[in-house]
Amino acid sequence: MAQDTSEDIMTTPTNDQTSALPGRPPVVDLATWQAARSALLVREKAHTRAGDAIAAARRRLPMVQLDGTAEVVGADGPVPFLELFQGREELVVYHSMWFDGAPPQGQCEGCTFNVWQMKDTVYLNARGVSFAVLTSGRWEEVAPYVEFMGYTQPWYSVRGVEASVAADEGHIICYLRDGDRVFLTYSTTARGNEPADGSVGLLDMTPYGRREAWEDNPDGWPEGHNACWYWRSDADGNSEWGPTSRPVPQWTRPGATPVETLGRHGHDH
């Protein structure tokens, strides 16, 4: 028997509910689906325009002058913060949280989630914007972690000078350079990092979304879990936030092994 084509499946309505998922939206023909999609598009475009207006207001925020001579420590030793601009006028950084003395699996899963999706910043550079990752960890601990993770973007320890460069853990921060002067222009808060997390935007487009309990889903849809539930997993790929887990990208790294502790000063949760 010949198989149905995707077009046949999309355009042929069905009333067969025997295998329907609980809460599944109705199955309709393509024209009906397109009408509903077009109606949603009106809301999506309004959301986009509202985002554009907010971005315009963001560009008009007042600035704060900072100390561009404050020394941070990177792969080449101490350098003034000004050098992170690499001669460009704009700089975007992510300040990654750090747990002193903890092995790679004990470092922040949320910051891993964010930084892993910023691995390639060539388009920022092409637009005249430099990028770096900051952390309050001691460089002697940070350096082997960066090597283990395979990060290619520059990392710097800002230990002791966080206030001088207005660095705040877990946030994206934007700076402007005018000659030798450095200005703080913007910083995210809470869910403000999401624009840099491409996987989140894609998940929001899928039928089941992020599978997190706070989401508004059809009745009977698969049960949601705690926010960020899939950011850590055990050696078998099961989502797990206990002492045998790692941030999920770490399992792709050479030498990653099952673990029994997160090494966070005796606190594994």
How far is 148 from 180, CA to CA, in rounded Å?
34
The band of 20, judged by pLDDT with boundaries at 50, 70 and 90, is low
Q: What is the pLDDT of residue 21?
A: 66
pLDDT of residue 220: 87
pTM of the model: 0.89
Domains for the chain: give ranges and CATH numbers: 64-189 (3.40.30.10)
Mean pLDDT of 133-141: 98
Task: Kindly state the average pLDDT of the residues 221-234.
Answer: 95
Question: Tell me: the pLDDT tens digits for 181-222?
Answer: 999 999 999 899 999 999 999 999 999 999 999 999 988 889
At 25, is the pLDDT very low, low, confident or very high (cuts 50, 70, 90)? confident
- Mean pLDDT for the chain overall: 91
What are residue 180's phi and psi, to 5 degrees?
-95, 5
Q: Is pLDDT of 5 > 60?
A: no
CA atoms within 13 A on the CB side of 206: 11
Position 23 scores a pLDDT of 74
pLDDT in tens, 68-108: 999 999 999 999 999 999 999 999 999 999 999 999 999 99
Per-residue pLDDT at 247 exceeds 80: yes
**Max alpha carbon distance in the chain (Å)?**
74
The count of other CB atoms within 10 Å of the CB of residue 221 is 18
Average pLDDT over residues 4-18: 41
Averaged pLDDT, 45-67: 98
Residue 232 φ then ψ, to 5°: -125, 150
The pLDDT > 90 percentage for the chain reads: 85
Say which DSSP state 134 is in.
E
CB atoms closer than 10 angstroms to residue 62: 7
Average pLDDT, stretch 20-31? Answer: 84
pLDDT for 225 equals: 96
